[in-house]
Amino acid sequence: MADLDPAALRRWPDVEAENLFAYDAADRLLLATAEPLLAGLDGAAIAVVNDHYGALTLSLAARGLTGVRVHQDPLSGELALANNAKSLGLGGYRQHPLGPEMFEGVRLVLLQLPRSLDALEEIAGWIAHSAAPDVVVLAAGRLKHMTKAMNDVLGTAFGKVTAGLARQKARVLTATGPAPAASSRFPLEESHDVGLPAALRLVAFGGTFGGAKLDVGTRFLLPLLDGARDCRTAVDLGCGNGTIAAYLALRRPGLQVIATDQSASAVASTQATAEANGVAGRITVRRDDGLSGLADGSAELIVLNPPFHIGNAVHAGIALKLFADAGRVLASGGELWTVWNSHLGYRPALQRLVGPTRQVARNPKFTVTVSVREG
């Protein structure tokens, strides 16, 4: 990795554990593949997408390249990159939202492949639309997370896609010859019957988990929220496509909702969902690392369908982090309503991190609990 020691990188403020790492074989292979292409390029002609914790960006910075454009959908990735840059005395990169300015005139893109094909399609579309005609896209991933469909998706935006040899259980796809589409499919939109007077319209950009679909666990949770405490404000923690925030605002006309997610795509999707359902005036959407932007004891009601993935890794740490955040932010008597896959057995953790927890409902797959903050 150029002159960067990858062992010096941390994941913080994302979850840290012995089996979770700040870099992987795909980072190393991507940088090795890019090496001969870097000659003669200045940093402003390079874009880095989905750099998990800074291994790609800071390796380029260690070579003296400045002005590299960076897009990371999760806020935890941005913060980890900034923390690592500060600790290593590196910098000079520029963060950008996903869109035309991220790729305008770019000639080399280093991309860690996303889990979602929709996310990959949206990213590839923006590159093809805005980058230089001779742009080279190097897209890497671990073999266990890659599928032939990724080649096909890249092939919708580029004339040529080739797969490199696998090394250390990672592979790089190379895409050239951008072929901009006349229009994009994104954002996606679907309507769902959830027992409201009108269908709930969900809107989602490519990087939003689950797209514009109604999550099965969330569908189970929604009607049960009528039993949640009366309050003036509520928090949709990990708002995704905005289902819970929009439902609460529509179901309770006097309610103000704060919707938070660390994903830039999810924040844009929730805002679009709020607008599509006519409740944007009562939903405040924030990109946040959990609930770090909310004060202790400030919330009356928090609703959460916790994720169980951190990137491509299945790990309970992210749910525990969100439970702890909810416990800190809830006021005395405040409630956390949670839906979770029953086999995960979260109730002891909820009781420890939030407060007394009771089961509200259970079906063959999901459990809904309410935890009450005491004292």
Each residue's pLDDT expressed in tens, for the chain with a length of 375 residues: 457 888 889 998 877 787 788 889 999 999 999 999 999 899 999 999 999 999 999 999 999 999 999 999 999 999 999 999 999 999 999 999 999 999 999 999 999 999 999 999 999 999 999 999 999 999 999 999 999 999 999 999 999 999 999 999 999 999 999 999 989 999 999 999 999 999 999 999 999 999 999 999 999 999 999 999 999 999 999 999 999 999 999 999 999 999 999 999 999 999 999 999 999 999 999 999 999 999 999 999 999 999 865 555 444 578 999 999 999 999 999 999 999 999 999 999 999 999 999 999 999 999 999 999 997
Cα distances (angstroms) measured from residue 115 to each of 46, 96, 151, 333: 23, 21, 13, 39
The amino acid present at 362, given as its one-letter code, is R
What is the value of pTM for the model shown? 0.94
Q: Which residue spans within the chain are E strands per DSSP?
A: 46-49, 69-71, 94-95, 108-112, 136-142, 158-163, 170-178, 188-192, 200-204, 233-237, 256-261, 283-287, 299-304, 309-310, 313-314, 330-341, 357-362, 366-372
Model pLDDT, residue 224 = 98
pLDDT tens readout for residues 91-144: 999 999 999 999 999 999 999 999 999 999 999 999 999 999 999 999 999 999
The confidence score (pLDDT) of residue 314 equals 47
302 neighbors 337 (Cβ within 8 angstroms): yes
Distance, in Å, from the CA atom of 109 to the CA atom of 128, rounded to the nearest integer, reads 11
Cis bond before residue 13 (omega within 30° of 0): yes
In what order do the strands lie in the sheet containing 136-142?
94-95, 69-71, 46-49, 108-112, 136-142, 170-178, 158-163
From CA 121, how far away is CA 156, in angstroms rounded? 8
